Structure 1
Amino acid sequence: MRSTPRRRSLVVALATALVLPLVAAPSAMAVVKDGARPVSFERSVVAQVNAARAKDGLPSLLELPALRTDARGWSSYLAKRSTTVAKGKRLKHQSLATMKKDARDAGCTGRYAEIVLWATPAPSAAKIVSSYLASSGHRDKVLATRFTHVGSGTVVRNGITFNTIRFASGCARTSSKVAGWATKRSQTVGRTQKDAIVVSAVAPRKVKLQKRSGGSWKTVKTYTTSRTGRVTVTLPRSSKVGSASFRVYAPQTTTHKAVASKVTTVTYRR
């Protein structure tokens, strides 16, 4: 299929971004089942983006899971319109308002942008990125110095592959605290009661409820925050009267350092 890019301007966070719907050329890749491509595939797309940047002497972009989730969501929306796209309808971009909200929810306060394409049959990660690089508008985004974080989302439907790549900047690299936890340094609960506490962390992220035992912290349960970073952590029941120390711990990720909450002491009574 021939490439048929069309130009339109898009104002993105005080900058003008050129966004170009792109139809990629056919590849020899085997048929891929309908649905979202695995995270490993999206990481391959990001790796190809960073390989292209490295050739130009540019720093790598950090993959942000929240941006991947947003990109995949938009690709899924486009996939639902696969019939109209196949009939020659141009690709749509997410609205600026939603794109901005997504970036802010991901912890990114700077600029943001999006590029999209559709292709058939299913292209490799390398083919997706090379197709973007073949278009000046898309290439500008891939090689931009104003972005620091990236996320790719790919969805296949009816044999057509839809890819969205989101870019952002000003993204938080550390969490100074786990908010909402340990507003009371100690509390008393019944042995058969469970106490739920809402905590916030940079999303999306896994957090662990840990209990102090034998001089070390043991994980009681692992939670995954929502896309906005909130999760309800539930203190466990106890069959014994006494006190126990708990904390919430968020392990290190590719974009965030590990962070632990203050310790809260729970006294279990009869």
Structure 2
Amino acid sequence: MIPTVFVHGIRLSSTMWGPVAALVNGPSAAPDLPGHGTREAEPFTIDGAVAAIVAAIDSVGGRAVLVGHSLGGFMAIAAAGRHPGRVAALVAGGCTVQPRGGFLAAYRLVARLAASRPDIADRVSASGFRRALPEPIAEAMVAGGVRCAVMPEVVAALSEMDAIGELHRYPGPVLLFNGARDPFRVDERRFLAAAANARLVVVPRRGHIGIIAETAMLAGLVTTAAASAAPQPSLSRGNHQPTPDPKPLR
């Protein structure tokens, strides 16, 4: 059974994936990214986020199906591009946009406003999750805390990330998912074309947050991705090191 590592979205924590993880067979892990959850005191960087993901993968055996949504999807793509040997398959949603131009300007404005009064923004965000999602799922979303103060750091980091380039570096199976009403899907065809072995699932009538209510569907995507993963190369007796990562493309 291939383990699964779940990566949370912006201002949330590892707890958001609990309802989905409960429906997926096999071991799993869900790290808190820097600036979030139990690591809220740390500055957010992409390198730090990728390091947290790799440590979670290593904690479940050195190779896993990697699942992320929103910020978690972007960071899962970054981890897969930089450490493909550790990622058996990639499942990423709500992250098929290159934050540039007007989209980036709007994203920065929202982040700056949220961080200007984080106490209010945290409460408004938690209330929004409770309105948009069924109670058990909403409570899982906010159980580890909501931290809007980190949003400007995250948006600044994402503005410098080449998500399509990172995805192009990952040769394994990719499953992209989006709600049909999600504004973060505007570049999904470019992301799909960048991956060597990818498919796209679009869920009708769901938006960026609402898709998290589809717990059975999301668990099914994880199971499908695990089934499509290439077998792990056999290791000699006594050698328990994770599969080496190929050199990055130049």
Q: TM-score, normalised by structure 1?
A: 0.23
Richer in strand (by share): 1
Q: TM-score, normalised by structure 2?
A: 0.25
Richer in helix (by share): 2
**Structure with bigger gyration radius:** 1
Q: Which has the higher contact order (CA 8 A, sep 6+)?
A: 2
